[in-house]
Amino acid sequence: MDQTSTTDVDQGHVLERYDDEPWLVEIGRAMSVAISQGSAVVCIATNAHWRLLERHVVDCGIDIHAARAKGQIARLDAERTLSKISGDGSIDVVRFAEVVGAVIDGVSTRHLRVWIYGELVALMRAHGDHAGAIDLEKLWSSFTTVRPMFRSFTSCTPLAPVRDCGQNKARF
């Protein structure tokens, strides 16, 4: 059974936690709505999840090639991105701005609203770096407060690692 939990971290920044991959259908629908309303989408997902999300976006009637041509979709591979922004066992704020921030800023030059989906925190949790995941969520929160073009920022992470930490709610 699909179980989701939402914890508001900051205005415009939501942490979604899910039990299984059917939740990605809902993320794909949300991406489709954002694109159909003229917003841009930045998707930082694993390759496997990107393929599922892309299929759901197409199933919702979005011409993904046209959306890319309009600069409405930017995609970063979550695993590669994490390796680029990590240094000495923690997230490097400067690299984060150079890698992730540059993509978001580039998209926002063409679109008033940017919707972001990210799996970086989930990857950190999967690697057992729970403290780093919390630090990254805090970084995202501070990052989104200085960029008012965000309509929504959604960070997704499986419920299981959160439960393994003895938590039933994310705390930041």
pTM across the whole model:
0.76
Cα–Cα distance list, 14 to 5, 29, 83, 86, 115 (Å): 10, 16, 24, 23, 11
Q: Which fold has domain 4-164?
A: Rossmann fold (3.40.50)
pLDDT tens across 36-75, in order?
Answer: 999 999 999 999 889 999 999 999 999 999 999 999 999 9
List the chain domain ranges.
4-164
Cα–Cα distance list, 136 to 92, 99, 132 (Å): 10, 14, 6
pLDDT tens across 12-39, in order?
Answer: 444 555 545 677 888 889 899 999 999 9
